[in-house]
Amino acid sequence: MGVNVAHWYLVHWWSVGVFCAQLALYVALSTGLEWGWYHARHGAEPLWKIQVSKGRNTKAGSEQEHCGRKYVWGFPALDLLGGVGVDVAVSGCGSIGDVASPDGSSSAPAPPRQRRHPKHAQYATLNLVVSALFAAAVTEASLRGRSQLYTEAAPSSGTDFIIMLIWTAWALVRCVAWQSVCEYYWHRAMHTPRLYRTLHKFHHHYKSPQPWDDLFIHPLEAAGYYAVLYSPAFCVGAVPVPAFLVYMAALGTCGVLDHCGVDVCILSPVLYTTRVHDLHHRLTTVNYAFPFPAMDMLHGTFRAHAPHTS
């Protein structure tokens, strides 16, 4: 990217900015999904939820209770502050901060964190920070000329602009293809008996994922996946920065959507639908590919629908 850093031990401000931006964008997207669907559309789950009768936000097992219309922010890092969450009383639900007492005697709702895996807060918070550190490290490597990312000069003609768009699109295809292949085999490896028992079973703790569940992964597995995710910056040849940014934005968004429980379809099932990965959490032996199903289709592990049960 042609930026010289005077001292090798100094981190460029761009890297710090990318670190902060990734944290902020993840929290914003996850909060938006949680508020917009699990709170604002609570009670209308058949219209938008993939597994309507399952999960921690159903009437049978409500993680995020709605006393009146009280919103409980599920940001996992809050668990590390002694389990003190942020409760927003929208209407007629008593004072902010009312939660169930430890002995269950209170009639006030229990916050989401009381129904999570005991390690959810630690793993999800650590993985969020580590993912942002990977983004910052790739940025810093690029600024120091240690990656294959580059910035292009402004096109001088319409023809140059078209050529630039074609090359950027081709670079984006290479990034997605590389990640799709590597992620598929990495994920299949995580489902071998020993690695599943040791690492991957944590991620499959939730059979009907909801916002904030995507980062509940064993940190060793998460670090391996982040290495796969960011590897196109070093492994697929020259990549324009805009192509890499689109690649990261698309995969980051899909990662959150795949674990939010909300039914999202784009040319389903050929291109993308959140139902595919949601089904992987239910059955575990299908739909290993992320975010697009091509590798599953190639290997015969794709399934669009759950088997019917009598």
If one compares 131 and 86, the residue with the highest pLDDT of the two is 131
If one compares 188 and 105, the residue with the highest pLDDT of the two is 188
Predicted confidence (pLDDT) at residue 148 exceeds the cutoff of 50: yes
d(CA 213, CA 256): 9
Q: Where are the alpha helices (DSSP H) in the chain?
A: 13-33, 120-143, 158-190, 193-198, 219-230, 232-235, 241-258, 274-283, 294-299
Can you name the residues that pair with 202 across neighbouring β-strands?
none
3-state helix, strand, coil in the chain (%, to 5): 50, 5, 40
pLDDT of residue 274: 95
Q: Which of 12-26, 109-123, 130-144, 293-307 is predicted with the least confidence, judged by mean pLDDT? A: 109-123
If one compares 184 and 71, the residue with the highest pLDDT of the two is 184
DSSP class of residue 38 equals: I
pLDDT of residue 21: 97
pLDDT of residue 70: 82
Predicted confidence (pLDDT) at residue 127 exceeds the cutoff of 60: yes
Predicted confidence (pLDDT) at residue 65 exceeds the cutoff of 50: no
pLDDT average, residue stretch 154-159: 88
- What token pair was written down for 48? 């938008």
d(CA 280, CA 226): 20
Predicted confidence (pLDDT) at residue 106 exceeds the cutoff of 90: no
Contact between residue 143 and residue 14 where contact means Cβ atoms under 8 Å apart: yes
Query: pLDDT tens, 19-54?
Result: 999 999 999 999 999 999 999 999 999 999 999 877
**Phi and psi dihedrals of 88, rounded to 5?**
-110, 110
pLDDT of residue 105: 42
Query: pLDDT tens, 252-287?
Result: 999 999 999 999 998 766 789 999 999 999 999 999
pLDDT of residue 92: 33
Picking from 280, 179, 261, 54, the residue whose alpha carbon sits closest to that of residue 304 is 280
Query: pLDDT tens, 182-220?
Result: 999 999 999 999 999 999 999 999 999 999 999 999 999
**Phi and psi dihedrals of 89, rounded to 5?**
-80, 105
pLDDT of residue 81: 85
If one compares 96 and 101, the residue with the highest pLDDT of the two is 101
Burial class (CB within 10 angstroms; exposed 0-12, middle 13-18, buried 19+) of 30: buried
pLDDT of residue 56: 63
